[in-house]
Structure 1
Amino acid sequence: MFSQYLTTLIKVLLLVGLLCFLAVDKMLAQSTTPTVIRGTLKDAQTQELLIGVSVYFPDTQIGTVTDVEGKYLLKANQVFTQVRFSYVGYKTITRSINPGQTQELNLTLENDSQQLTEVLIKGKRRYRNKNNPAVDLIREVIAHKAANQLQQYNFAEYEQYEKLRFSLTNTPEKLKKNFLLRKFPYLTADLDTTTLKGKALLPFYLQEVFSHHYYRQNPAKSKKIITAEKKVDFGEYIDSKGMQAYFNHLYQDIDIYKNNIPVVTNQFLSPIADAAPTFYRFYVTDTVATQSGKLIQLTFEPRNQTDFLFAGNLYITQDGNYAVQKAQLSLSKSVNINWVRDLHINLDFAPDAAGKYHLSKSEMRADLGLTPNGNFGMYGSRLVVYKNYVFDQPQPFNLYDGLPVVNSTELISQPDDNFLLANRPDTLTTSEAATYTNIETLKNSSSFKRTADWATLLIAGYKKAGPKLELGPVATFYSFNPVEGFRLRFGGRTTPNFSKKINFDAYAAYGFKDEKWKYYLGATYSLTDKTIYEFPVRSVRVSYQQDTKIPGQELQLIQESNVFLSFKRGINDKYLYNKTFNLEYLHEFENHFSYRLGLKRWQQAPAGSLAFERITTSENQTDLLSHLTTAEVSAELRWAPNEKFFQGKIYRTSFIGRYPVFTLRGIAGVKGLFDGEYNYQSVTLNIFKRFSLSQLGYTDVVTEAGYLFGQVPYPLLTIHRANQTYSYQFQSYNLMNFLEFASDQYASLMLDHCFNGFIFNKIPVIKKTKFREYATLKVLYGGLRTENNPAQNNQLLQFPADARGMTTTYSLENKPYVEGSVGIGNIFKFFRVDLVKRFSYLDHPDTSELGVRGQFKFDF
């Protein structure tokens, strides 16, 4: 019996042992079969790829991060049933997995609702910088800035992908029912209704640029080589290059390590600028654990909510480098900035093999409101992805020669879908993908061409009269002045459809008071395979003009016979009848250096109360000259480094950058050439520069100096730029009378400072207006040598006099002409009014000591 029980027990133990062995064998088999998890991670709201997301098995050190394409691959030979996804600013999620299998998890991460864009922290104690750990930390970040920038390396290079998108915004119903868009239903077929809550986005501009960047420390030089580019093209009605330049001007590169960050034409102080502790409040709000280590979350806010400052969060490494691993920047709604309803900037930095953090992704999103109710507007976003950093590998020195931005010799323009799908770091949304084809279809439709034609008339003043001719500018069709009385003018020009190589323009005008015809004929021939409106221009121009002119009136970006300038203050009856022949050669270079060579025959005859009077005898008897004739050869050199501009129908509008603009002119009058009566030479240098003063605004500075060699009558002297209209003109003297001052040598300084609301923003109630303060100072020194001063040389034409016989034109003697102004800008977001005061030469007849001037000035 016992032996039978023993045998049975042994069989049971053997069976249990066999089962245990099989279980262990199965577990061992499982542990040696690797678990593989792969996939792609995106933002749940924007569908943008997420770079640098930590993917790991909970409670272990086994993990990885997503690459520049948002992809990850995680492997393990152990048994795990869960995987976790963690990213700063997003909700951490955990997913169950099957061990020992290869699985694909493509997920979207939600923004952490606990992340605040505007923080208000109250406490019993007053905020102080002293003994504040947050301030101590930010000062460490500031102290380590140089060690965390590309400039620390002798050489650096990386690849960059940039996507710039602009869309019209409104409610879906209003976009689809818009009377203009109803004609083009395909535009509203794929509206984006996910990006902005309650709004639909209709993309109208999309640009993608692939480039390779190089940096050299000594001597400092950077180079951007564009390898491929695709963007929408609106055809002849809109300057696509100018639109690209303007949008790039609005959405510039964001470098948080610089003291100032450009945001839609304004300069905002960086939260890690040298002076940041003076203008920001900082708080340590959290410690965040990531796969690469712990980060300190630093929340910051402006001390004054209306200043040009950010609010948001910084995530700082604790490895001793004090590097920024992530930055979230936004604007307070109280900031004195126009049109912007909402703006967010997100920066991601990824570590390299040495543990140094470099920018891997930059995104800027701005919601711009264009109507008072806030429904209709524009939404712009710029995504930049950086990858494949290489450091301290020198390139040939000649790589950095030439322009800082160039196209590759093998540039792929308008690449096809195969190239884009293979090289984009992310995919386009449905509405984005339709943008290229939609705009291409739109620009070829006759309905769009008619609409754009009328829009061009309203904006630029030109109206098509057939495919080859434009009529305009309409603002000059009617005007009036004391000499001509009621004046009618009619003109036009040919379009590139007539010829890309040659352009004709002409007008005819008639004054009903002087009963004289005036006219202009001009022709310009392009010496390149492009039109004369496409940069860089190389052209020859010939013209003949017979018309009136006010001595000393020099206008910028506006026609002299514009009807709005017909209204003038004071006495304005000294005119010239000019007959001018011009031959001109213009050569522009890609680096924005240009030169202009000219030949001019100029005949001036007095008009109105002006007379060319000369003393002929010792008894001071005079005779009158009917006209003066001169022949001039001229040269002008202009250099505007890195200039960006928008090409209009008549003028280029430059976007003011951080580089100066130099213009040097030389003129030589040649006696005997084309009946020229005088020998003389003159040289003029003009320099323009904008200085950004961060929170104190910016200052536009113009310095100019000129010198004339030789003896000439006063119409050939420098007649200083005066302004008797009611418009404010920066490079003219707004309380100086026409033909009031003449010089053969002079130097001038003009300062125009905008405080950007720095003062008004501190005043209750007024700060709600978002007005901006302006202050201007203009100083002009000059003089006349004895040989050119009619008071000391009877051989010269006498300065003009009024009906009482009092001289109305003067030299500047031994004191300068000075005027200044204070102004309020941003009235209705586009108007500026200045109170101008004249400080010197107040004893001159018909002078105004005070005046009010206005100017249309569109600013963000």
Structure 2
Amino acid sequence: MKRSLLFIFFIIGMVVYAQTKVSGIVLDEEGEPVAYANVLFKNTTEGTITDEDGRFYLESEENYTVLSVSFIGYTTEEVELRQRVTYNLEVILKEGEQLDEVVVYVGKQSKKNNPAIDILKKIWANKRINGLKKFRQYQYDKYEKIEFDLNTIDSALMKSKMFRGLEFIFADLDTSRITGKTYLPLFLNETFSQVYGDNEMNLEKEEVRGSKNSGFSNNQAIIGFVDDLYSDYNIYDNYIKLVDKSFTSPLSQTGINTYNYVLADSAYIDNKWCYHIIYYPRRKNELTFKGDFWVNDTTYAVKKIDLEVTKSANINWVKEIYIQQEFEVVNDSVFLLKRDYLMSDFSFSKKEKSKGVYGKRTTVYDHYKFENPRPEEFYKSVSDPYDPSIFQRDSIFWKNNRLESLNKDEQGIYTLLDTLKTVPKFKTYYNLVSVLGSGYIEIDKWNLDIGDIYSTFGFNDAEGIRLRGGARTYFGQNDPWRLEGYMAYGFDDHKFKHGFSAKWLLDRKSRLIISGGNRRDIEQLGINLTATNDVLGRSVASSAVFTVGNNNRLTNINLSTLALEVEPFTNLRFRFGGSFRTLSSALPEAFSLDYVDPGAPTGISSEIRQFDLITTLIYTPGKRTIGYGVERRDVNDNYSTLLLNYTKGTQGFLKSDFNYEKIQFSYSQPWQIGGFGRLFSSVEIGKTFGAVPLGLLNVVPGNQTLFSIFNTFPNLDFYEFVTDTYVSAHFEHNFNGRLFSRIPLLRKLNLREIVGLRGVWGELSDENIALSSPTNIPLVAPDDKIYWEYSLGVGNIFKIFRIDFNFRGNYLDNPDARPFSVTGTFGFNF
């Protein structure tokens, strides 16, 4: 009996752990790699295609013994797999005919007689009546897990000084089924939610029922980072947005000009007859995928699709991106998304052996229900996503609602991270990464952050060398209140400066916040059309180490603010407040803010005292945030911003100098122009009613720094144009390398083209000119014609640098006019 029981356990163990893994390279008879060859386990639909170098990795939970390798123009090769794991396999394809039963399309020949494209056209015709669009109302359960893993673990890494004392974390390692690399799980987040939708009202809402994190209390920032990178996508759309780039979908109506399609096979999948189509890009260096999909022969709904970003795609810091979607057949005509798997391999290098981090997102959908109408109020009522009970679900809840079981490595992450947090060396690494990412040094025992470290050093003509240090309270990212301040010292003017801010969240539901503060510092006010009310911020022009010409038009500012802010509806904010400021020149011999003041002993005043009442409306449709404290973090950047600002200057109160009114409106919007890149646009208009001196007028933002700063004019000096009425527009388009990818000598450099166009028109009344007439700056507005500039830029130089060549369109007769300038900027962009 014991032997029989042992035998049964042995058989069960063999079944549970049966697995086939195979990797290798496909070559032709000349020894050249065969890119995009089809690699399948024989008589199955489980497979992959080779990359540009002919390499592949394939894994299955089943036990297979034969591998089938094929490509158009070559005979099919069948390779016997003598063991469960076979690495570094070399497959030679011989020239010959293949798939005699179908007509196939190869290369860049005519598209007219390609059956794969005929099928593709039928997919387009049916895509709007497939899936959830077939129903008036729908609901389903959604389970999502996000995971980060350290990959390409080898013995050298395990024995390195970095992991000395941390060897226990390598006790359990697994191998990626996509790349075949060994990896170590480091982070896991699970979320279960229920989604409701109404296609007639075009409304949808998602209610989170449970959320569980491994690791650290601040890991909502990691989740937000992943959500921003992997925004929701639809394979039927023309473009799929990943890591801030738009990739042409293989199901796109523009795909014919982007991809090669091959009808490779047909077979039954879940009792539905499906066509198998392989696709791969026509050109290198474009934002494209390679892979295959299976499509039903009657509904032309996709049953399964694999998408892998090509290695030559113009994208930084990402070695691989892989997507797999599987659809469930509900009845004869309904295909619904069942599982969505996305994996990215983040790495500094795209070399095969380079180490990196996997970012993985798995989403499972189940329990679909239809035709259950709900009132519009149901969709507009939003539950509290930060209800503490959501984050305290027990094991029974997760057992019942986890739509996909965790594997043994994922189960071990919770224990591993709890252990790691107790290891001093790991805490040191974590703190170092945290400092570089946030700019603040955490002092946990005082609940204080020191920083930010990136504002420590500066230089300008008034202060000379400037040093700054600051701190803020920080108990956690959801703090209901925050205090923050800084001190600075200039070694030329021998003066201390300071800034202090306090914020308090009075009501979480309406986002009612009271804030206030004071700043006494030196500022370059000619960098913005809107007056600053930030008691902590400082423009880059105020501390630029290198500038074009003299950076001496600086202002002493003593600013105090008090404001109340509320968000009655999502992304719609109202702010009511007041500010009191005193303004004077920081370098009177070079720059004057003097104005005519009959009440002054000399008839001239050099200091402006002004109290303003300010009402602001800010609308940011589509903006997503995380956190519920007084400060939240944005998780996307593809939303528009509409701002309406009304300022009422009150004379006499606190000895304020001027009565005036000012109204300003701005609209900014990023536009994803399909495969042609991204356009950033902004439009701003404003008008001041009443007589005010230079310090309260609207200065057209020049830029004398060497940095490229959006919404400024790099060929204008500070205060070159001054207005009381203005209209301004800025446009900047990044083609993301679409043009350079077609130039052979530039293709491999992965450079990106940026073009810019900007203009401003404004006028200045005679009354305002006369009020500030003693100034040594000529008060001129671009009222004769629109002042405009254009720029041509090259980005992604060494992956981190961008350079812009800026040209002035007119007003070349202005004193010291700069017809040309070169600016640049550094940044880590995908």
Query: Of 93, 96, 108, which aligns to 2:62?
Result: 108
CA contact (8 A) 2:20 2:61 kept: no
Tell me by how many angstroms 1:654 deviates.
4.2
Partner of 2:452: 473
- Give the distance between the partners of 2:596 and 2:539, measured in 1 at CA: 33
Equivalent residue letter for 1:135: I
TM-superposition CA deviations, 1:279-326 (whole Å, max 9, x none)? 22222111213352321112222222322222221212112x211111
The 1:443–1:650 alpha-carbon spacing in structure 2 relative to 1, beyond 3 Å, is farther
CA contact (8 A) 2:619 2:642 kept: yes
Query: Of 231, 234, 245, which aligns to 2:213?
Result: 231
- Give the distance between the partners of 1:563 and 1:393, measured in 2 at CA: 59
Query: Of 567, 572, 587, which aligns to 2:546?
Result: 567
Partner of 1:722: 702
Query: Of 497, 517, 526, which aligns to 1:543?
Result: 517
Q: Which moved more, 1:622-631 or 1:441-450?
A: 441-450
CA contact (8 A) 2:513 2:630 kept: no
The 1:408–1:824 alpha-carbon spacing in structure 2 relative to 1, beyond 3 Å, is closer
Tell me by how many angstroms 1:362 deviates.
1.4
Query: Of 729, 734, 737, which aligns to 2:714?
Result: 734
- Give the distance between the partners of 2:242 and 2:263, measured in 1 at CA: 26
The 1:561–1:332 alpha-carbon spacing in structure 2 relative to 1, beyond 3 Å, is closer
Partner of 1:65: none
TM-superposition CA deviations, 1:705-741 (whole Å, max 9, x none)? 1122222112101122222111111122222211222
Tell me by how many angstroms 1:773 deviates.
0.7
TM-superposition CA deviations, 1:334-372 (whole Å, max 9, x none)? 111122222221111121134311111111122222247
Tell me by how many angstroms 1:152 deviates.
3.0
SS at match of 2:753: strand
CA contact (8 A) 1:656 1:690 kept: no
Tell me by how many angstroms 1:89 deviates.
2.7
CA contact (8 A) 1:748 1:780 kept: yes
Tell me by how many angstroms 1:770 deviates.
0.8
Partner of 2:593: 612
Equivalent residue letter for 2:278: T
Partner of 1:13: none
The 1:567–1:316 alpha-carbon spacing in structure 2 relative to 1, beyond 3 Å, is same
Tell me by how many angstroms 1:775 deviates.
0.6
- Give the distance between the partners of 2:631 and 2:801, measured in 1 at CA: 21
- Give the distance between the partners of 1:409 and 1:198, measured in 2 at CA: 40
Partner of 1:332: 310
Query: Of 567, 572, 593, which aligns to 2:572?
Result: 593
Partner of 2:810: 840
CA contact (8 A) 1:575 1:607 kept: yes
CA contact (8 A) 1:155 1:392 kept: yes
- Give the distance between the partners of 2:393 and 2:70, measured in 1 at CA: 41
Q: Which moved more, 1:178-187 or 1:161-170?
A: 178-187
Query: Of 819, 823, 826, which aligns to 1:849?
Result: 819
The 1:112–1:568 alpha-carbon spacing in structure 2 relative to 1, beyond 3 Å, is farther
Query: RMSD value over aligned CA atoms?
Result: 3.7
- Give the distance between the partners of 2:222 and 2:568, measured in 1 at CA: 20
1:434 aligns with 2:434: no
Partner of 1:189: 171
The 1:109–1:544 alpha-carbon spacing in structure 2 relative to 1, beyond 3 Å, is same
CA contact (8 A) 2:105 2:111 kept: no
Query: Of 621, 641, 652, which aligns to 1:641?
Result: 621
TM-superposition CA deviations, 1:503-535 (whole Å, max 9, x none)? 333333333323333223333334258xxxxx9
The 1:248–1:536 alpha-carbon spacing in structure 2 relative to 1, beyond 3 Å, is farther
Equivalent residue letter for 1:598: G
- For residues 437-476 of structure 1, the aligned pairs below 5 Å read 437-443=415-421, 445-464=423-442, 467-476=446-455
TM-superposition CA deviations, 1:534-582 (whole Å, max 9, x none)? x985432222222111121249997447997222111221221111111
Equivalent residue letter for 2:801: F
CA contact (8 A) 1:213 1:223 kept: yes
Tell me by how many angstroms 1:853 deviates.
1.0
CA contact (8 A) 1:682 1:707 kept: yes
Query: Of 464, 468, 471, which aligns to 1:489?
Result: 468
TM-superposition CA deviations, 1:158-217 (whole Å, max 9, x none)? 212112111121323244335444344443332224546663322222111112112211
CA contact (8 A) 1:215 1:222 kept: yes
Equivalent residue letter for 1:206: L
The 1:348–1:148 alpha-carbon spacing in structure 2 relative to 1, beyond 3 Å, is same
Partner of 1:14: none
1:798 aligns with 2:798: no
Query: Of 625, 629, 632, which aligns to 2:612?
Result: 632
Query: Of 753, 777, 795, which aligns to 1:825?
Result: 795
The 1:616–1:126 alpha-carbon spacing in structure 2 relative to 1, beyond 3 Å, is closer
Tell me by how many angstroms 1:692 deviates.
1.3
State the aligned residue count: 750
CA contact (8 A) 2:108 2:282 kept: no
Query: Of 130, 133, 136, which aligns to 1:151?
Result: 133
- For residues 675-714 of structure 1, the aligned pairs below 5 Å read 675-714=655-694
The 1:636–1:111 alpha-carbon spacing in structure 2 relative to 1, beyond 3 Å, is farther
Tell me by how many angstroms 1:147 deviates.
1.4
SS at match of 1:150: helix
Relative to the length of structure 2, the TM-score reads 0.82
- Give the distance between the partners of 1:163 and 1:357, measured in 2 at CA: 23
Tell me by how many angstroms 1:142 deviates.
0.6
SS at match of 1:527: strand
Equivalent residue letter for 1:199: K
Partner of 1:505: 484
- Give the distance between the partners of 2:436 and 2:157, measured in 1 at CA: 23
- For residues 285-434 of structure 1, the aligned pairs below 5 Å read 285-319=264-298, 321-371=299-349, 374-402=353-381, 407=385, 412-434=390-412
- Give the distance between the partners of 1:709 and 1:643, measured in 2 at CA: 33
- Give the distance between the partners of 1:652 and 1:668, measured in 2 at CA: 29
The 1:748–1:45 alpha-carbon spacing in structure 2 relative to 1, beyond 3 Å, is farther
SS at match of 2:399: helix
- For residues 744-823 of structure 1, the aligned pairs below 5 Å read 744-788=724-768, 790=769, 794=770, 796-798=771-773, 800-801=775-776, 807-823=777-793
Tell me by how many angstroms 1:223 deviates.
1.3
CA contact (8 A) 1:522 1:541 kept: yes
- Give the distance between the partners of 1:139 and 1:699, measured in 2 at CA: 30
| Percent of pairs with identical residues | 27
CA contact (8 A) 1:630 1:669 kept: yes
Tell me by how many angstroms 1:746 deviates.
1.4
Q: Which moved more, 1:581-590 or 1:708-717?
A: 581-590
Runs of at least 5 residues in structure 1 that lack an aligned partner in the other structure: 1-36, 47-83, 92-105, 530-534, 802-806
Partner of 1:63: none
- Give the distance between the partners of 2:703 and 2:715, measured in 1 at CA: 7
The 1:346–1:478 alpha-carbon spacing in structure 2 relative to 1, beyond 3 Å, is closer
Tell me by how many angstroms 1:641 deviates.
2.6
- Give the distance between the partners of 2:521 and 2:71, measured in 1 at CA: 60
SS at match of 2:720: coil
TM-superposition CA deviations, 1:648-685 (whole Å, max 9, x none)? 99997745544322222221111111111111111222
- Give the distance between the partners of 1:119 and 1:336, measured in 2 at CA: 29
Relative to the length of structure 1, the TM-score reads 0.80
SS at match of 1:778: strand
The 1:444–1:124 alpha-carbon spacing in structure 2 relative to 1, beyond 3 Å, is closer
- For residues 80-95 of structure 1, the aligned pairs below 5 Å read 88-89=45-46
Runs of at least 5 residues in structure 2 that lack an aligned partner in the other structure: 1-11, 22-40, 49-59, 75-97, 99-103
Greater Cα radius of gyration, structure 1 or 2 = 1
Tell me by how many angstroms 1:139 deviates.
0.7
Equivalent residue letter for 1:108: E
